Amino acid sequence: MAIINPYLNFNGNTEEAFNFYKSVFGGEFALITRFKEMPNPDHPLSEEDGNKLMHIALPIGNGNVLMGTDFLESMGHKMEEGNRYAISVSAQSREEATKLFNGLTVGPTVEMPINDSPWGSYFGMLKDKFGIKWMVDFDPRYN
């Protein structure tokens, strides 16, 4: 059975926000990845943008994970009403991830086809026909 977690997008202050959430909820960060750790030759980054957070995960309670990222204007991201969050679905297998992704792709906008990612998971993003953004992944390191 897949697990659903909130994924929050910030305008450059993800680290500050997540340190605040950590002070409220406690716990330790399960993962912190900066953009400079996943260089993309198609999108060279300034030193400032390279130090921004590509992904951060803070486990909260039993099985819940609050996740987030910095939106970078240099990569074409623009903060707008409605794109401050996404629903992240963590599947238990590649097959389940593919089934869920394909099931959600009825009249959607596929932002990133589901495929093997540079960070090691099987990952895809889409906006469904109701305008809700979904991130579907399977990461064998966590299953």
Cα within 13 Å of Cα(36), Cβ side: 7
Q: Which two tokens stand for residue 131?
A: 């305008």
User: Total structural domains in the chain?
Assistant: 1
Higher-scoring residue by pLDDT: 143, 113: 113
pLDDT of residue 100: 92
Lowest mean pLDDT among 60-74, 75-89, 93-107, 112-126: 75-89
Q: Which domain holds residue 132?
A: 3-142
* Rg of the chain, C-alpha, whole Å: 15
Return phi, psi of residue 142, to 5°.
Answer: -110, 10
Residue 73 sits in a domain whose CATH number is 3.10.180.10
